[in-house]
Chain A
Amino acid sequence: MLGIGNYLWRLLPANPILLRVVAMAGRRRRDLIFRTGYLAVLILAVSITIIGSQTSGGDLAALAKISGRLLVNISWLQLALVALLAPVFMAGAISEQRNAQSLDLLLASPLTNEQIVLGGYLSRLFFVLTLLLSGIPIFSITQIFGGVAISDILNVLWICAATAVVCGGLAIFMATINLAPRSALFSFYLLIALYLVGGVLLDQSSAMAVAGEPTLLHPQTRISWLTGINPFLAMRVVLHDPLYRPPTAAALGDKGWLVRWYLGSPQTFYPVFMVLVSALLLIPSVLTLRRWAQSTWSLRGWILRRLRLRPGVARRKPRSVWHNPIAWREARTRGGSAGSLAGRFGFAAIGLVLTIWVLRGYHCTLPMSRWVDRFSYDAATDSITINSDKGIENFLVSPHTTISLDNRPIAAEKLTNPYQVLETTVPPARRNELATLKLSSQPRQFSATEAGSILALFTQAELALVLLLVANTAASAVTREKEDGTLDLLLATPITSRYYIWGKLRGLVSQAAPLMGVPVAGLLIFLGYDVLAHLGGQSGPWVVHPEALVLLPLLLVATAAATAMIGMSLSLRCRKTVVAVMATIGLLVGALIILGFFGNLMLWAPGANDTQRFFAAFSPFALVQLLFIQPAGGTGEHFSRRMFVIVGALVANALILAGVWLLYRSMVHNFDMTIRRQSR
């Protein structure tokens, strides 16, 4: 009994790895800055919410309303901060694993696998959990105003904590099993981003929807099959989103207890499930830590060998070095490795396959129950034949007959394609004469709007991936050379800072250009299709606005250049690759979240006007939506909206590129000084 007690004591409270971190927690300046910044952001959000509420102090109902709003704002902010910070801090487990010497010291000590794994896990979790705990006094403000249940606050905290817990579990798992050590950090961020963002995006799909509990105001509510496993979706339930309600117990009566819990109470399922997932990730880490440490196997190496992409010999034919060796190194050596090439080709292949899948859906027409085609109108008799499953109907066309196609008037002789008949009306007196004929384009598997929406989604995902890849490559561009000692060799040559940075940028562009080509190729495919279709006499809306041909590449180049410059700038300032990558990706994700939030706010605000669309174009993801998704409204309105979007996009990208230029100038100017300051 004493033995078990001693084991448990040494496992957690007296775990030396955990104790070291806890003892240092109060002394580290970086932690203090993070904690202060975190609380400052929360306090700012509280202040803005209270000031923006504009209510008289005595009204209890009004105070409860402020309290509810406070809970919503702080909860979203807290979850966003945790989703941003937890991966950054948990990634430390992976970076430490890369420093094999410190891990070797631990492995050579009498510490057990459990002590090492749990010590590493909890010491990283400790920081995020203390952040959450430090935010509790801010939540308690809601209790002063009233109107917020303590259970809601606890649910919010559980969801945030569970998100950190699962991030930590994944980081430790990846660190232990030596998953592609060179790119483990990037893979980790990518997985977390896919899980968080992908869940929210897939939630929109009708295939995932589960009917929710109807209310008087909103008879149609929903959640999705992903609500119980995504923190942002579970948070919507906790915060009582009126359109996002789980089904009632009665509606789930015939389901098993697990499904009833999963769908009926996703906000309580999420934390429990994530803790279990985390435990499942930790158990193999504990069991195999020393075995993996002794192993030379790596998943990446295994895949490359399987694909016969690694020659396995110490010799190969030399390649020719470019005039600018820095650019050559960046593009050919780093970007030309088998893994990198496989990744890029894979990315391009998946992107094109998905685009072709959407195009096929857009191209394939659905059968119509009533339709007209180019043979329907007979000018000689001034009559129209309407085909249907049941047979044909003939109508006379008079000068009073109104024919419309997709809500736009069209002359009978211009009916050149098959169109679906939506509605026909005849005057009461003359039954064989048409009064109105409402037509729509032939229905397809994907309508133009649907195809545009799906394409926009793919383009957004591709943009996010390209930016993450550029951030990862740029952030490690200089630090890797610092770490392996090659930077000193270069600095002792006549290469100037301008030449060096320009070479790096050129190399990065060479690496990123094929990736950026994927969404542009998708765009070209659809534009080409629409052009050919219109030349062939088809009418109807375009999937992609033609101006996207200029604006999308501009957006890709500007955002990728900005990401590359930020990454390189941090790479120059940081001594270690891990820190530079973490900082760059953290900054990028933070900026994208803020810009995305701002863009969506502008785009989807009730009664959004042209000015708002102009500013929405400043958000890369909102701009993609604006370029691909057809707005409702008349032709004139379309033109005005598109002009505002075009101008907004041009201004935004010009500003980004100006920022890139300034950053480049500043980097060139401060390069020697920054490098020398770090020299030892």
Chain B
Amino acid sequence: MAAVIQTVNLTKRYGELVALANLNLQIAQGDCFGFIGPNGAGKTTTIRILATLLQPTWGEARICDLVIGYQSRQIRPLIGYVPDVFGAYDDMVVLEYLEFFAAAYNIHGSERRKVISDVLELTDLGYKRDALVDALSRGMKQRLSIARVLLHDPSVLLLDEPAGNLDPRARIEMRELLKELRRMGKTIVISSHILPELADLCNTVGIIERGELIYAGPVADILQKARRGTVVHVKLSGLLSQMEPAAQLLRARPQVRTVEVLEDHLEVVLGPAVEDYSLVARWLVEGGYDLLLLREEEVNLETAFMRLTRGTVQ
């Protein structure tokens, strides 16, 4: 599928600080791309460049084949940008706020009324149309932000930490709303620290650290990449002093790559060719040990993130 968003060697410097170094990305039409990285890794910088708010120092970024910086004016109607802070105008009610941005997108008259009515329904904010924006809860404000970016029906949504600082209920509502947008065929770029939600929402992710893209691709691939082979956690019955001899027993097996004695259990990493980890149970039982627990380690986005990043940027 053709790439809707493409960056080639995208670089951004703030004086001596390299915020983004040679970022190469390709995001296809209809993808939901999750941007993961520690604080200060360059996620917001990338999203701000894509939102035409920042000029790259080097490299090129394109949206729908239009070059950011040269064709920004044509790009802006195609994108919807939700920043990490809610830009609240004081003394505006919800309807005025949406009318204001609709006018900014050159939507006037009856079309404006219809569009606003539609987005209010989609975001379930219809009953708040007369409410002052300042008085809305954080979750409501984020939904209003989404309503705002849907006014001009953009094909690309750039969402910077849309679920940041939301309570659990608001987060779940936000996730459902974003899923609905994905079903509508929008291409979504979303940065977030809440990785399980990204795993649930996104089909592709990019991990960025210190301005460098460490990985970008389908979620399934990253989980596979983060796997260290088959990792099995084993808990033995009886004294903890039995753990070291049991570890020695397992280390003698050629299928076992490493065995680590942890606080109350063993972590066994099997070689790449070993699929059936029940072997571990058999070896231990044969060695005279009783098992309390045998569990394969689950690799999720969080573990993948922790393994792939060095965690040096804060």
Contacts and interface: CB of A to CB of B under 8 A. Distances in A.
Interface of A: 314-326, 328-329, 333-334, 336-337, 481, 484-496, 676, 679-680
A317 to B, nearest CB: 7
A329 B54 CA distance: 25
Contacts of A315: 93, 130-132
Contacts of B73: 494, 496
Given A321-B103, A323-B103, A484 B87 contact: yes
A488 B87 contact: yes
Contacts of B93: 315-316, 318
Contacts of A488: 48, 51, 53, 81, 83, 87
Given A318-B95, A492-B81, 10 more contacts: A315-B132, A318-B93, A318-B94, A318-B129, A333-B89, A333-B96, A484-B90, A485-B87, A487-B87, A489-B101
B90 to A, nearest CB: 7
B108 interface: yes
A324 B106 CA distance: 9
B90 A493 contact: no
A298 to B, nearest CB: 15
Contact of B86 (A314, A485, A496): A485
A321 B102 CA distance: 10
B103 A484 contact: no
B88 interface: yes
26 contacts: A314-B135, A315-B131, A316-B132, A321-B96, A321-B100, A325-B101, A328-B103, A333-B96, A336-B91, A481-B87, A484-B87, A484-B88, A484-B89, A488-B53, A488-B87, A489-B87, A489-B148, A491-B52, A492-B52, A492-B53, A492-B79, A492-B81, A494-B73, A496-B73, A676-B53, A676-B55
A589 B76 CA distance: 41
A491 B53 contact: yes
Given A314-B135, A493-B76, A329 B53 contact: no
Given A484-B88, A486-B88, A494 B77 contact: yes
Q: Which 6 A-B pairs have the closest CB atoms?
A: A314-B135, A486-B87, A325-B103, A318-B95, A321-B99, A485-B87
Contacts of B135: 314
Interface centre among A324, A333, A334, A488 (most CB of B within 10 A): A488
A315 B14 CA distance: 43
A314 B99 CA distance: 19
Nearest to A320: B99
Contact of A490 (B77, B85, B104, B129): B104
A679 B79 CA distance: 19
Given A323-B108, A493-B105, A318 B88 contact: no
B104 A325 contact: yes
Given A319-B96, A493-B105, A494-B76, A333 B90 contact: yes
B131 A676 contact: no
Interface in B108-146: 108, 129-132, 135
A315 to B, nearest CB: 5
B131 A324 contact: no
A494 B103 contact: no
A660 to B, nearest CB: 26
Contacts of B129: 318
A632 to B, nearest CB: 53
B64 interface: no
B67 interface: no
A317 B100 contact: no
B158 to A, nearest CB: 8
A266 B104 CA distance: 60
B256 interface: no
Contact of A328 (B100, B106, B148): B100
B92 interface: yes
A676 B68 CA distance: 14
Contacts of B87: 481, 484-489
Nearest to A311: B132
Contact of A314 (B81, B104, B131): B131
A147 to B, nearest CB: 56
B4 to A, nearest CB: 17
B89 A486 contact: yes
B70 to A, nearest CB: 13
A319 B240 CA distance: 73
Contacts of B48: 488, 679
Interface size class of B (residues with CB under 8 A): 35 or more
Nearest to B90: A333
A495 B103 CA distance: 10
B108 A494 contact: no
Nearest to A322: B103
Interface string B166-193: 0000000000000000000000000000
| From A315, A489, A676, A680, residue with most partner B Cβ within 10 Å | A489
A337 B132 CA distance: 13
A495 B104 contact: yes
Nearest to A182: B90
A184 B69 CA distance: 40
B88 to A, nearest CB: 6
Contact of B92 (A333, A494, A679): A333
Contacts of B83: 485, 488-489
A510 B93 CA distance: 21
A429 to B, nearest CB: 85
Nearest to A680: B14
Given A318-B95, A333-B92, A494 B101 contact: no
Contacts of B76: 492-494
A342 to B, nearest CB: 14
A333 B134 CA distance: 13
A324 B103 contact: yes
Contact of B105 (A314, A484, A494, A676): A494
Nearest to B104: A493
Contacts of A680: 14
Nearest to B92: A333
A309 to B, nearest CB: 12
Given A318-B93, A489-B83, A325 B100 contact: yes
Contacts of B92: 329, 333
Nearest to A480: B90
Interface in B262-277: none
A424 to B, nearest CB: 70
A494 B106 contact: yes
Contacts of A336: 91
A326 B77 CA distance: 18
A324 B108 CA distance: 10
A485 B100 CA distance: 16
A318 B99 contact: yes
A337 B90 CA distance: 10
Contacts of B86: 485
Nearest to A338: B91
B200 to A, nearest CB: 27
Contacts of B81: 488-489, 492
A178 B86 CA distance: 26
Interface in B249-266: none
Nearest to A334: B91
B89 A679 contact: no
A319 B73 CA distance: 29
Contacts of A334: 91
Contacts of A487: 87
B100 A314 contact: no
Nearest to A490: B104
A315 B81 CA distance: 27
A495 B51 CA distance: 13
B73 to A, nearest CB: 6
Given A489-B81, A493-B76, A493-B104, A333 B54 contact: no
Contacts of B100: 321, 325, 328-329
Contacts of A323: 103, 108
A611 B190 CA distance: 68
Contacts of A321: 96, 99-100, 102-103
A575 to B, nearest CB: 15
Interface in B14-63: 14, 48, 51-55
